[in-house]
Amino acid sequence: MKEPESNRTPRDRAPGADEEAPSGSIASYTIGLFFALLLTGASFLVSQSHLLWAPGLPVGLAVLAIAQMGVHLVFFFHLSSGPDNTNNVLALAFGVLIVALVVSGSLWIMSNLDHNMMPSSTIMEMHR
């Protein structure tokens, strides 16, 4: 006789977990480490050499960093696009949205203020 539990439907999956092997497998961690080291090495190489056109360097570093975060999420946190992972991915998407708003909003507002601010020497002149 089978337990009713065995007739289970796909449910939510915990972040960092898998149904059969609750915490992934050695292979997935090893692949993750390999890609993480590769991308870190690439970041160091790109920043210390002249492989990239200098003004494009921040963009190159950002791309490598985001790729590496993706590697960590997939191979260490075991996030996937499956239906059992919807809640985890939605929470992540919300977090990414807030982070993007905080960072880009701060940079935007501060550069705008900086731009509209009188040079301090002019302010000194006015108070004289």
Partner 1 sequence: MTAKASATEFTDGSAQMTAADGAGPAPVRIVVAYGFWIFLLSDIIMFSALFATYAVLSGRTDGGPGPHDLFELRSVAIETLCLLLSSYTCGLGLLAVERHRMQYFYLSFGLTFALGATFLGLELDEFARMVGSGAGPSRSAFLSSFFSLVGLHGVHISVGLIWILFITAQVAVRGPRDFVLRRLRCFSLFWHALDIIWIALLSLVYLAGARV
Q: Which of residues 51, 91, 118, 124 is near partner 1 by CB under 8 A?
A: 91
Please state, in angstroms and rounded to a whole number, the distance separating the CA atoms of residues 87 and 23.
18
**CA atoms 122, 123, 127, 128: torsion sign:** negative
| Cβ atoms of residues 72 and 36 within 8 Å | yes
User: Residue 117 interacts with partner 1 (CB under 8 A)?
Assistant: no
Please state, in angstroms and rounded to a whole number, the distance separating the CA atoms of residues 23 and 77.
9
**What SS3 class is residue 7?**
coil
CB of 49 to partner 1, least distance (A): 10
CB of 99 to partner 1, least distance (A): 4
Q: Which of residues 2, 4, 20, 98 is near partner 1 by CB under 8 A?
A: 98
Per-residue contact flags (x/-) with partner 1 for residues 7 to 46, judged by CB under 8 A: --xxxxxxxxx---xxxxxx--xx-xx--xx--x--xx-x
